[in-house]
Amino acid sequence: MVYRSIQIEKGVPGYATINPNTNTAYICYTSSNFIIVVNLEKGTIDNKIQLTCPGNISINRVTNKVYVSTAYGICEIDSVNNQYEMINIGLPHSDGSVDVNPLTNLLYTTCFGRDILTVIDAATRAIADKIPVGENPKGVAIDSSSNSIYVANYDTQSVSIIDCYQSNKLVDTIHFKSAGEDWTRRPSFVLVNELSKLLYVKTHYLSAIGGAWQGEVLYVIDMNTKEEIKSRTLPSNSLIGFAFNHSNNTIYMMRRGERSILKFDALANELLDITTLEQSSIMRRIFGFDFKYFAEVIAVNTSTNKVYVSDSKNNLLYEIDG
């Protein structure tokens, strides 16, 4: 069910997060170099923050601090007053990621170094550790229940698993490269489902000859066995293309060729619900006219169980039932 639509800024949003404590959404416009702060209760834009190439974004719900990877380091935003400042502890790059452990208030980021995961004490801004990982690390995700870190290594085609209880030791690696394949699977994003002990990994499919783009796939991995449970194709226009709802242990993604959001169980196996925002003709679906601007951002407010979906063609953020 679609409840309402909220007018947002013109442009193509990329990453987003929601602070359930304040019912506020933070939406990154990477190519347009800004973030908007959306008051979801009022349906208004409270602030617009200029940042260079804002990308991956994470929130510490204990401290109400939001962390955004940018071309100039990590931006820390106080979600109570929207004041912000930069954390820069090295040579940054714009395609890194950041995640925060709310129990320890430590930041884990791939923004500083091409084969390093940097650990930062968020309270003091000091470097707590530098952990060698694979080549060109991108996505990073924390399992706070086991104090483990997962890092998506794009060029190495792997996910590094780090045990923080063992002094940040690299304890295992999930490989996405198989001998004899004529294409490569390059992980770019990871997300932890602590409820079901699942890891969601988004990979880019590239041809081994010439690096031609083949598409994007979401893998569901058993965190105990490290084995693949399920895989589903994601729309190639979306930076993320899916979201996890911690309140009911479900995931959401867009249906290719339609303006519809699919709700699956945590394993991405059973289709639980479909929310269609607008019907489309067969020809328009075939040529992709109706979905290339839809659902670049999908975000969940776990306190209200509402899901928010972007529509960059009409500069809207739809609120639907979670």
Q: What is the 3-state secondary structure (H, E, C) of 263-309?
A: EEECCCCCEEEEEEEECCCHHHHHHCCCCCCEEEEEEEECCCCEEEE
pLDDT digits (tens, 9 = 90+) for 147-169: 999 999 999 999 999 999 999 99
pLDDT (0 to 100) of residue 80: 86
* Backbone phi, psi, residue 69, to 5°: -80, 135
Report the SS3 class of residue 166: helix
Q: Is residue 236 a contact partner of residue 216, using CB atoms and an 8 Å limit?
A: yes
| CB 277 within 8 Å of CB 226 | no
Query: 180 to each of 184, 228, 233, 277, how far by Cα in Å?
Result: 10, 19, 22, 42
> Given this model, what pLDDT does residue 89 score?
86
Q: Report pLDDT for 209.
A: 58
Please list the ranges in the chain whose pLDDT falls under 70: 178-182, 207-214, 235-240, 279-291
Token pair of 261 as six digits: 């959001």
The dihedral built from the CA positions of residue 140, 187, 294 and 49, taken in this order, carries a sign that is positive
Strand partners of residue 158: 153, 175
φ, ψ at 18 (rounded to 5°):
-125, 135
The CATH number fitting domain 89-321, selected from 3.40.50.1370, 3.40.50.300, 1.10.240.10, 2.130.10.10: 2.130.10.10
Q: Which pLDDT value is given to residue 216?
A: 84
